Structure 1
Amino acid sequence: MATDAVVVPSAGTPSSVPERCVIVVDAALPVGRAANAAAVIALTVGQRHPGLVGAPLIDASQVAHPGLIPIGIAVLAAEQGALTAIRAKAVAIGCDVVDFPVQGQQTTDYEAFQRAVAVVTTAELRYVGLALVGPRKAIGKLVANFALLK
């Protein structure tokens, strides 16, 4: 199966810590499904870019809390049709893209999800959301016209 995924630099190198990370979800999703899409995508972004996780947070009682992303993650909304175009442009400019096809919210069985995606070409896939990880300016240009998810 052909892929247009971007190779992610290994953790620990300066280039492995991207300047920007945004998640864009389908604006028409109900709030629960939008939150689900953002959470699923964010988990994969964290796995692909471990350098995005900041140092542990230590409170005044000296209790350590897990580190969070120091550059933040904007969660934006776009029409579903725009997600495919955003994805294609992001891949073309070398951003790492984590996409979440609509089939993922049609089942709770991951193998069924894999089978459903396997019969759809890349050009025909539709998404509930995606993350863009990479250079600040490049991503900013791609998402400049989208507002925060409400």
Structure 2
Amino acid sequence: MDETLQAGDATVAAEESIFARRCVVVVDAALPPGKAANAAAVIALTLGQRHPELVGPPLVDASGATHPGLIPIGIAVLSAPAEALAGLRAKAVQGGCDVVDFPVQGQQTTDYQAFIDAVAQVREEDLRYVGMALLGPRKAVGKLVGNLALLK
């Protein structure tokens, strides 16, 4: 078989698998807008690093200028009560989703080493979160976040 066709088939398969997944960011509903935006941005950056296949091809405008590719499946930014986030994380992990979580300690300092040190002092079951991204099969993610509203 022609190598070009094989590479093309792999691209089509990768695109199909992307569209079979759903990606959401869920942030603490009580966060002020600036902190909610910060949490969503930090989480999305890490999600993009972990899953570069989520970035679509570059966009070319009518002038021929090229713009960076964006995520073709979109990312809903939802909100939940702070006390629900740890449970949501546990269910998502158990359900096979990739979870990018953002512990509250991350918004308590601008020193990353201090953040690392603070998280190291807390057991997993005691961590609290300002937000998280969930990436997984569309139905599984939908079941987890179906009752959550868009961030306002």
- TM-score with structure 1 setting the length: 0.90
**RMSD, aligned CA:** 1.4
Report SS of the residue matched to 2:71: coil
Of 117, 120, 138 in structure 1, the residue corresponding to residue 119 of structure 2 is 117
| Bigger share in helix | 2
Note the residue ranges of structure 2 that are not aligned, 5 or more in a row. Answer: 1-10
CA shift for structure 1 position 16: 6.7
Of 43, 61, 69 in structure 1, the residue corresponding to residue 63 of structure 2 is 61
User: Any residues of structure 2 matched to 1:13-92 within 5 Å, and which?
Assistant: 14=14, 17=18, 19-92=21-94
Q: Which residue of 1 aligns with 2:136?
A: 134
Whichever of the two has the greater Rg, that structure is 2
Report SS of the residue matched to 1:69: coil
CA shift for structure 1 position 19: 1.2
- TM-score with structure 2 setting the length: 0.88
CA shift for structure 1 position 27: 0.2
Supply the distance in 2 between the matched residues of 1:16 and 1:33 (Cα, whole angstroms): 32
Q: Deviations over 1:14-70 (max 9, x none)?
A: 387361100000000000000000000000000000000000000000000000000
Supply the distance in 1 between the matched residues of 2:52 and 2:59 (Cα, whole angstroms): 16
Supply the distance in 1 between the matched residues of 2:26 and 2:129 (Cα, whole angstroms): 10
Of 107, 125, 132 in structure 2, the residue corresponding to residue 105 of structure 1 is 107
Note the residue ranges of structure 1 that are not aligned, 5 or more in a row. Answer: 1-11
CA shift for structure 1 position 143: 0.2
The percentage of aligned residue pairs carrying the same residue is 72
Report if the CA contact (8 A) 1:16-1:51 is conserved: no
Report SS of the residue matched to 2:27: strand
